[in-house]
């Protein structure tokens, strides 16, 4: 296979735009088309890149496309992935992989049954600071990890479906636990066995959590805490952050993932803004996905990786409701 034929399914999640921009830069990729039931949502990119349009994603799956990138509302990830797998297409699915453990297990199972690959979109693994931290940890520079403190604090996301739990599966705790939890899982090579969490609506007056605090214990004894919130207001210089402080027996390692920035004072917006100049994590993630499929190698971030991060978010909601710690993995019905 000289080139990978890729299709896009849904632009409900805004990450679809940066993923498409990355794909069109790759000489070994052919964009087959875009499927979205809402044509107005994709009209701009259809015209910009002169791409075929499919109102029904099943029509895209009926083509000779090799792989699809799914950026729908979270509630539709499972069915779209299962349909793609049954059509023999490899899948890169936006995070969170799913909104229940049962459906994520089914997604993984069907992809394996149909001999296609399923990759979870965790671009934060490709941030320069994260890559360097992973190497330092693997090289033993800070000894054995004892504890981790992380943040993924953003602004209220757009579009509005994020505030509809039936479509999103949850608010800030679902949306922002998964990125940093995946990094913690990756760094430790261990699994969360206990979650104690808080989730509440504090900032926007909407009936969905916009703030939280998630404490976890891993099976290797490491403790971690994460602030997954939508606490950054419209006046904040950028959409949010991804930070970690990793405490080891020989030292402490700090990560500020978006520190590569210039401060721009804009008369148009009336505020200071951060202009990020660092490496494009989405581009590196898409390159890794494409190369794995072309070479016939396992994708670097699996469906199981996606499940392991979401199960912590789901456990966090149960803990917040019960007001006590809960154990993982939870039993599936």
Q: Where are the domains of the chain?
A: 4-121, 125-279+311-327
CA–CA gap between residue 189 and residue 219 (Å, rounded): 10
Query: What are the two backbone dihedrals, phi and then psi, of residue 135, each rounded to the nearest 5 degrees?
Result: -65, -45
Q: Is the pLDDT at 1 greater than 80, yes or no?
A: no
Q: Is the pLDDT at 242 greater than 80, yes or no?
A: yes
Residues contacting 83, CB < 8 A, separation 6+: 57, 58, 61
pLDDT for 205-226, tens place per residue?
999 999 999 999 999 999 999 9
Percent of the chain with pLDDT over 70: 99
Least confident of 16-25, 52-61, 77-86, 154-163: 154-163
Domain 4-121 has CATH 3.40.50.720: yes
CA–CA gap between residue 188 and residue 44 (Å, rounded): 42
pLDDT for 263-278, tens place per residue?
898 888 888 888 888 8
* pLDDT score of 271: 83
Give 331's pLDDT tier (boundaries 50, 70, 90): low
* pLDDT score of 332: 59
243-248/223-229 β-pairing: unpaired
What homologous superfamily is domain 125-279+311-327 in, according to CATH?
Dihydrodipicolinate Reductase; domain 2 (3.30.360.10)
* pLDDT score of 252: 98
pLDDT for 89-105, tens place per residue?
999 999 999 999 999 99
Q: Do domains 4-121 and 125-279+311-327 have the same CATH topology?
A: no
Mean residue pLDDT across the chain: 96
Q: What is the pTM of this model?
A: 0.95
């Amino acid at each position: 296979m000289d080139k990978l034929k890729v299709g896009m399914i849904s632009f409900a999640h805004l990450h679809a735009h940066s993923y498409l921009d990355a794909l069109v830069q790759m000489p070994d990729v052919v964009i087959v088309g875009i499927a979205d039931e809402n044509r107005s949502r994709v009209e701009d990119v259809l015209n910009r890149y002169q791409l075929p349009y499919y109102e029904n994603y099943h029509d895209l799956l009926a083509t000779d496309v090799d792989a699809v990138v799914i950026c729908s509302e979270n509630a539709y990830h499972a069915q779209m992935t299962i349909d793609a797998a049954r059509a023999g297409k490899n899948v890169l699915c936006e995070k969170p992989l799913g909104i229940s453990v049962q459906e994520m297990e089914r997604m993984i199972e069907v992809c394996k049954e149909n001999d296609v690959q399923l990759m979870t979109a965790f671009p934060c693994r490709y941030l320069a600071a994260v890559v360097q931290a992973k190497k330092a940890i693997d090289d033993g520079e800070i000894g054995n990890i004892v504890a981790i403190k992380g943040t993924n604090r953003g602004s209220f996301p757009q579009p509005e479906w994020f505030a509809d739990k039936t479509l999103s599966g949850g608010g800030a705790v679902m949306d922002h636990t998964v990125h940093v939890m995946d990094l913690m899982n990756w760094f430790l090579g261990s699994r969360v066995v206990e979650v104690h969490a808080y989730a509440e609506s504090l900032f926007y007056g909407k009936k969905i959590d916009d703030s939280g605090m998630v404490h976890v214990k891993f099976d290797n004894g490491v403790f971690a805490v994460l602030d997954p919130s939508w606490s950054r207001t419209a006046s904040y210089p950028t959409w949010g952050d991804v930070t970690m402080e990793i405490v080891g027996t020989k030292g402490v390692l700090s990560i500020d993932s978006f520190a590569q920035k210039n401060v721009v004072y804009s008369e148009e917006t009336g505020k200071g803004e951060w202009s990020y100049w660092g490496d494009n994590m989405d581009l590196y993630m898409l390159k890794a996905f494409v190369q794995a499929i072309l070479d016939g190698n396992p994708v670097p971030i699996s469906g199981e990786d996606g499940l392991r991060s979401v199960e912590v978010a789901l456990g966090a909601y149960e803990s917040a409701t019960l007001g006590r710690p809960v154990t993982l993995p939870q039993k599936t019905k």
